[in-house]
Amino acid sequence: MRVMTGMLFGNAVIGSMVVIFFPMYLGEAVSAIHLAFMAVNVIFLQILTIVLGAFAFRSWFRFYSIGTLLAFLVLTIFGVFVAPHIVSGPPQSGLQERVMGYGYLLWQAMLSIVLFSNKTNQD
């Protein structure tokens, strides 16, 4: 749980650094440094945090975490292999990126519900 907490904190720090120091603007190419930070953020912090969350809890949250990981896998395959071949690719790949981002935020909200439920059950 402590490792997962540290990873959540690291995700927030890296995400904030990218937005503040390496912002993206519409119509602008993605910089290599922005891409590198976001890859580290998604692969090493978001996905590994979800994996740790799946192992940490044996309730419905484990299945929810596995479902989120499977959705990330499908959306990543879509983003890498399918979206570039669609004539209007950028809107679909942008949608894929947003669904993954909001999916992770929803996972964090579910984690907070599970943690709050466990805390109230212990009191």
CA distances from 62 to 36, 58, 106 (A): 29, 6, 14
Q: Higher pLDDT residue, 26 or 42?
A: 42
With 80 as the cut, is the pLDDT of residue 80 above it? no
With 50 as the cut, is the pLDDT of residue 39 above it? yes
Alpha carbon distance 90, 95 (integer Å):
8
H helices present in 45-88, as ranges: 48-56, 60-77
| Contact by Cβ (8 Å): 111, 53 | yes
Alpha carbon distance 20, 24 (integer Å):
10
Alpha carbon distance 96, 112 (integer Å):
24
With 90 as the cut, is the pLDDT of residue 123 above it? no
Least confident of 48-52, 90-94, 110-114: 90-94
What would the mean pLDDT of 24-33 be, rounded to a whole number? 71
Q: What is the pLDDT of residues 42-69, one digit of tens each?
A: 787 888 889 998 998 888 999 999 999 9
| Contact by Cβ (8 Å): 108, 8 | yes
Q: Higher pLDDT residue, 93 or 43?
A: 43
Percent of the chain with pLDDT over 90: 17
* Largest separation between any pair of C-alpha atoms in the chain: 56
pLDDT score of 69: 93
Least confident of 1-15, 50-64, 87-101: 87-101
| Contact by Cβ (8 Å): 7, 48 | yes
* Consecutive H or E run containing 40: helix 32-40
CA distances from 93 to 14, 15, 32 (A): 22, 20, 18
With 50 as the cut, is the pLDDT of residue 89 above it? no
